[in-house]
Amino acid sequence: MSVDPKIVEQEVIHQLQEVIDPETGVDVVRMRLVEDLTVDESGTVRYRFRPSSPLCPLAVTLALQIKEAVARVEGVSGQEVEVVGYVGARALNTLLKEGEED
C-alpha cells in the first residue's frame, strides 16, 4: 500500500497537537518535543521524542500518548521512534519497541 507522505505527515502533526503536556498545558508540537518527523511511501513514521528535561517525570506517559496519537492516523503502517535527551532513554526506547509486538 502506498500513501502520500505529505498528507500523512500533516495528519500526524494534527494528531500530535492533541497531545498536551499536563505540566505546561501546551501541546507537544508547540513545545517541539517531536523532532525530525518523516513519513515514507509505505506509511512508516520516523521521529525523535525529546522530553522537556533529562529528568522529565512525564516522559513515559507522553511517549506512549505520542505513539498512540500517531497510530490513530489513517495510512500509518508503523513507527520508528527514538527517545533522546532523557536519563531513561534506553529503557523507554525498549518499552516503546515492545509495544509494537502486541
Q: What is the pLDDT of residues 21-57, one digit of tens each?
A: 998 999 999 999 999 999 999 999 999 999 999 999 9
- Give me the chain's average pLDDT, please: 94
Question: Beta-strand (E) ranges in 1-102?
Answer: 20-21, 26-27, 34-39, 44-49, 78-83
Sorted by where each begins, the domain ranges of the chain are 5-101
Look at residue 95 in the predicted model and tell me its pLDDT: 92
Task: Tell me the pLDDT band of 98, cut-offs 50, 70 and 90.
Answer: confident
0.85 cut: is pTM over it?
yes
pLDDT greater than 70 at residue 99? no
Q: What is the pLDDT of residues 56-68, one digit of tens each?
A: 999 999 999 999 9
pLDDT greater than 60 at residue 101? no
Look at residue 102 in the predicted model and tell me its pLDDT: 43
- Rounded Cα distance, 4 and 42, in Å: 9
Fold of 5-101: GMP Synthetase; Chain A, domain 3 (3.30.300)
Q: Provide, rounded to the nearest whole percent, the portion of the chain with pLDDT above 90.
A: 90
